[in-house]
A and B are shown apart, each in its own frame.
Chain A
Amino acid sequence: MEAVEVEEITRVFEPRRRSGTRVVALDEVSLTVPTGEIHGLLGPNGAGKTTLVKILSTVLLPTSGKARVLGHDVVDETEAVRPLIGIVFGGERGLYWRLSGRQNLEYWGALYKLSSREAKERAQQLLERVGMADKADERVEEYSRGMKQRLHLARGLMGDGKVLFLDEPTTGMDPLAAREFRALIGELRDEGRTILLATHDMVEAEMVCDRVTLIDRGKVIATESPRTLGQVLSRFQRIDVEGVPLVVLDEIRAIRGVASVTAVDGVGTRIEVDEEGATQLVLERLVSAGATSVRTSLPSLEEVYVQLIGERGMEI
């Protein structure tokens, strides 16, 4: 059984005021997440990631389409879905600031129908796991942002959900805390949990995800492993070369599919191609010109992301 199945989900937000505009947040989105996978939902702000997570978390209804979590419909079988999922979102909200970290977890344990004894035991285990045991009895309002985020994750695990929805979980974390957090996500996958990670952080997606769905303006652009996504975009390959005469670079510039030839500090010359087959022609010309320091590389996920989505810049 797939952990998450999304079939042609569309979600339209109708304007609340006459002057408002109709927003299509998701437009016939389909995706499947097998059990035990860390699946990234990667896209810019306003792409529809949170909307999809909200639908799968049963707090938002789709306008059309079907979605199932571990075989249960998220619209009609909410009572079956809710005990199976955990939700973690970024930022500082979603916790009771005037309770201690431990009290927060025990409260959520009660909401997930654990007995007091079970809730206490699980809270202690999770506090230790996220490295918060020594701060467990301090009020949340005294926690740093990173500590709140770790508590968020522990809270999301109180119900022992088999499927976790993480919405921008490392927002505002310092790099070290984010790295530890990502390691923890890997451990959760190793326990057999399925994780849907919504993020706009390409590095994060590349580091932890088995597969990534690129989403923009409510539409799925592609779903692949981070590495394959890079290969899909191999037409955007880049070649770094040193010691090539200007006349040869001019010839290369004229080859069809060469997007740019630029001098880069510390690298020499960077040649970027944007058509299939152009790389081979460039390499042949460089070798024939006697170039000895030639390095080709696949684009990182970040570069894929920028190539696919970046054209619209800051526009939402």
Chain B
Amino acid sequence: MSAVATTLNVMQHAFRAGIADYRAIFTWKSWLAGWYVRVLAQVAFFALIGERLGDDEKTYYLLVGNSLLIAAQVGVFSLNMTSAERWAGTLPLLVASPSSPVVVFSARGAYLAIDGSLSALGALFIAGPLFGMDLPWPRVLAVVPLTLLVGLASYGFGTFLAGIVFRYRSINSLVVVTTYVSLMAACGVNVPLSYYPEPLELLARFLPLTNGLLAIRGVFAGLPAVEIVGNAALELAVGFGWMTAALMSFNRLASRGRRDGSLDFGA
């Protein structure tokens, strides 16, 4: 087999292992009745704040921002991937195999990007009309790939963090929550980026969600395609950057584990 075919084969199996984990958590019924209702409630909560302010523009701003935040939030859950591998005791076996663990981790949690995107789109397309938001057809179709882009960029970011916090398992949940709140606060979800000082605005541009969300707001606002595509390209670049950093962090994790003996066998 060629190197590309081998890599794709590993990714396919890793993706399937991730799906198996996910299916152990959710059935489609529990996804709808548990997770999706929670997502709708979360988005509706923020949209209602906008309504209380008596301003449709603010309502839609909060609704779109918080819907897309779901895609980012779920993508960042990939942070838990290494904990799962560590719990399973498979990490040293992955390191000792002829394939790179990096290939595994680039695909193992990719279902999260899909799940997050579906959740976000579901929230946007259900809650939006409920709050009187116009979904301009066919422009609104552009929101679908842009949301997936946000999910993938966030997955890359979460995977990067997973490699970093691998050695500090006790703060895993803290990092998940802190990351979620940081994305919510800094990426233009509830407050426009212009509200912040310029350095912070610039910093936010390096986070997943920020540029993708600007692109999606551009779709709803009817901005020129070139502006939307520009922000989408930035989101793509940010996601690619974080995934590259993630791959480097996993290589570092493996080599450091070999040095300090943190890749434990079995029990």
A residues near B (Cβ < 8 Å) are 11, 13, 16, 50-51, 53-54, 57-61, 79, 82-83, 85, 87, 89-99, 103, 106-108, 110-113, 115-116, 159, 167-168
Contact status B92-A54, CB under 8 Å? yes
User: If A94-B88, A96-B88 touch, does A58 touch B13 (CB 8 Å cutoff)?
Assistant: no
Chain B residue with Cβ nearest A108: B97
Chain A residue with Cβ nearest B24: A98
A107 to B17, CA, bound (A): 8
Q: How far is the CB of B75 from chain A (nearest CB, A)?
A: 21
Chain B: interface residue count, which band?
Answer: 35 or more
Contact status A111-B10, CB under 8 Å? yes
Q: Does B237 count as interface, using CB distance less than 8 angstroms?
A: no
Residues in B with CB closer than 8 Å to A111 are 10, 13, 94, 97-99, 104
Contact status A54-B261, CB under 8 Å? yes
Residues in A with CB closer than 8 Å to B16 are 99, 103, 107
A128 to B16, CA, bound (A): 24
Q: Does B41 count as interface, using CB distance less than 8 angstroms?
A: no
Contact status A59-B258, CB under 8 Å? yes
Contact status B92-A110, CB under 8 Å? no
A16 to B256, CA, bound (A): 13
The 7 closest A-B pairs by CB, nearest first: A93-B89, A98-B20, A89-B266, A111-B97, A107-B13, A91-B266, A110-B13
Q: How far is the CB of B39 from chain A (nearest CB, A)?
A: 24
A11 to B259, CA, bound (A): 10
Residues in B with CB closer than 8 Å to A107 are 13-14, 16-17
When the two chains form the complex, which single residue of A50, A79, A106 contacts B98, counting CB atoms closer than 8 Å? A79
**In the complex, given contacts A111-B13, A112-B99, what are 19 additional A-B residue pairs having Cβ atoms less than 8 angstroms apart?**
A54-B263, A57-B92, A59-B265, A82-B97, A87-B265, A89-B266, A93-B266, A94-B265, A95-B88, A95-B90, A96-B88, A107-B14, A110-B9, A110-B10, A110-B99, A111-B99, A113-B98, A115-B1, A159-B97
Interface positions, chain B 6-42, Cβ under 8 Å from A, are 6, 9-10, 12-14, 16-17, 20-21, 23-24
Chain A residue with Cβ nearest B104: A111
Among B6, B9, B10, B96, max chain A CB count under 10 A is at: B96
* 23 contacts across the A-B interface (CB closer than 8 A): A13-B261, A16-B260, A54-B92, A57-B96, A59-B257, A59-B265, A60-B261, A60-B263, A61-B259, A82-B97, A91-B89, A96-B20, A96-B90, A97-B88, A98-B21, A98-B24, A99-B16, A106-B13, A107-B17, A110-B99, A113-B99, A116-B9, A168-B266
